[in-house]
Structure 1
Amino acid sequence: MAQPRYIPDIVANVTLPSRATSMITKDPVNRPPGFIANCLRESGRTAAADDRPDPTTHPELPSRPPSTHTTVERAWSMASRWSAPLYERPGRQGPRLLGSAWVDGGRDGSSPRTPPTDPQSACRSSSVRAPKLDHRRIVPWQRECVLAVRSALSEQYRPMVDLAGGCGLRQGEVLGLAVEDVNFIDGVVHVVRQVKLIRNRPVFAPPKGAKERTVPLPDSVARSIEEHISQHPPASVTLPWRAVDGAPVTASLILHRDQGRPINRNDFNRGAWRPALEAAGVPLGRASGMHALRHFYASVLLDAGESIKALSEYLGHHDPGFTLRTYTHLMPSSEKRTREAVNRAFADGPDTDDGPTTAQGE
């Protein structure tokens, strides 16, 4: 997260939509990723650099100068309307930062905010409270559900289920997997890129969080990939790196469309994934996206006794604590592990020659 900083509040009457619009106009294709942070910083406020609301899809952006907003308007109008997805982020840092940025020192909303001398104070506010997290427990698919969806997909797309459900890859990472990333001899997959869409234009990019990783390759998934390659040879696909005007990068993608084109995830979701869900009797919705296969992967590993640390590395999470918070309810109960451990230790029963009855008989 970017370090908060302040600039003298000399442009407090510049509205955020006007500033965002001017920045987008400068580069309509590659929207500056931190434009909202720049908007706030240049008006004497602060925000996380990765908080990126899209004004083209959020017409309710505040249209009045920030200095005229009341405390409530400054805090929650922005946080609730712009950044609803941020509520689900670990630590709730997004709403806290965005909300604090809009609260003036007097707490009555009557006067423009004066930037404090301590930049860290931007992250604290006594009048703004972060929203409560919605503690929804993830319910992973059962094996039968995964196999049903896989069978409903066309043959060329079935390895996507195997890679996501058998290696824990994200959808973009599956689409960006090249044949040179798979080591069949050592039985590992190197996750080094993904296919992203920038305004529906594909680009290569590092995995989420720029976190490259190596995951085990199960034999069943290896056989699926080998069979797919024998029927659909990899194709050399060249895409720009990280931005539509980035340097071209070429990779021999395992999964691709005709004429060596990358698979567009939106087209795949609409034309292949959703029909497969309907055919398998799986309800449509956010919880039924391809990400559900990562949850299945996590549930299988935890049920087999894999550690949270290893699972976090395989999934590419930034912190094992996040993995633990997400999947702790899927871990076998301590009572069950205790019973099984003691049963194994006393598999043949305790030695009856050493006990209370022996001592009494002496």
Structure 2
Amino acid sequence: MIWTPAQLRTFLGPARSHRPFAFFHLAAYTGARRGELLNLRWSDVDLDGRQITIKGSTGVVDGEHTEGTTKSGRTRVVTIDDGTVTVLREHQKAQEAEKLRVGNSWKDENGRVFTTAWGGPIYPTTVTALPGKLIKAHKEPEGMDQAPTEPLPYVRLHDLRHIHATTLLLAGVPVHVVASRLGHADPAITLRVYAHVIRSAETAAANVFAKALE
């Protein structure tokens, strides 16, 4: 199940009140993988240049945080829009306030973009579990007798990556550009994974050409 842009906006609205909001926003607006975002440092974020550099990935093995390369083994630069710049600036400001509150007990020494309230690394399961809880809260709002007329279908965190790719492909963004943003080593991977989306875009292209000749 892939959300529409309208459904994504519906999800991000309530998510704004949660600490990981900037994480979910960046996941949707860049298509980056969970581990790549958890590994992101502020030194890899260029807010003035409107881009982030994804250099590696973070995971957990036997309860211990580990760091390694991206899935493709390559570093990539991903551009971001003005709205995402604003979200990251607000997140950075909130993180600085947390540092002041915690003081010398702040744990992070690597300048991570996403940390716990005490500067510790975030466990991947933490950000994986929250979307399901937010979707359930949207379907079953407290203090309301009726559920929303258009409840959000359940999706996984990883599906935000698919939403990003699908939206770009349907908008006519070239496959090689989408592949670069996703970190696919070869555009052929993108073609294979999103073949159904590309077929839909090809149908739309035929209609565009026909209309141009009317």
Deviations 1:102-155 (A, max 9, x none): xxxxxxxxxxxxxxxxxxxxxxxxxxxxxxxxxxxxx42112322233233343
Change in 2 beyond 3 A, CA 1:293/1:335:
closer
- In structure 2, how many angstroms separate the alpha carbons of the residues matched to 1:204 and 1:277? 30
- Show the counterpart of 2:211: 343
Q: Which runs of 5+ in 1 are unaligned?
A: 1-138, 239-249, 350-362
Deviations 1:175-202 (A, max 9, x none): 1211111112222110012221011211
Point out the structure with the larger helix share.
2
Amino acid at match of 2:174: S
- Show the counterpart of 1:261: 120
- Show the counterpart of 2:43: 180
Deviations 1:51-73 (A, max 9, x none): xxxxxxxxxxxxxxxxxxxxxxx
Change in 2 beyond 3 A, CA 1:188/1:289:
same
Equivalent position SS for 2:157: coil
Deviations 1:234-289 (A, max 9, x none): 97866xxxxxxxxxxx521121102210111123334x3331121233455xxx22
CA contact (8 A) 2:170 2:201 kept: no
- Please report the RMSD computed on the Cα atoms of aligned residues, expressed in angstroms: 2.3
Q: CA deviation at 1:210?
A: 1.7
- Asked if 1:326 corresponds to 2:193, the answer is yes
Alignment of 1:1-362 (within 5 A): 139-153=1-15, 154-233=17-96, 251-270=110-129, 272-281=130-139, 282=152, 284=154, 288-331=155-198, 332-344=200-212, 346=213
TM-score, normalised relative to structure 2: 0.80
Deviations 1:20-64 (A, max 9, x none): xxxxxxxxxxxxxxxxxxxxxxxxxxxxxxxxxxxxxxxxxxxxx
TM-score, normalised relative to structure 1: 0.49
Amino acid at match of 2:10: A
CA contact (8 A) 1:173 1:194 kept: yes
Q: CA deviation at 1:342?
A: 4.4
- In structure 1, how many angstroms separate the alpha carbons of the residues matched to 2:162 and 2:65? 26
Q: CA deviation at 1:170?
A: 0.8
Q: CA deviation at 1:341?
A: 2.8
Amino acid at match of 2:110: A
Q: CA deviation at 1:335?
A: 4.1
Q: CA deviation at 1:172?
A: 1.2
Deviations 1:288-308 (A, max 9, x none): 221110011001111221111
The alignment-based identity, stated in percent, is 22
CA contact (8 A) 2:52 2:78 kept: yes
CA contact (8 A) 1:237 1:260 kept: yes
Amino acid at match of 1:162: H
Count of matched residue pairs: 193
Higher relative contact order (CA 8 A, sep 6+): 2
CA contact (8 A) 1:237 1:251 kept: no
Q: CA deviation at 1:167?
A: 0.6
Equivalent position SS for 1:202: strand
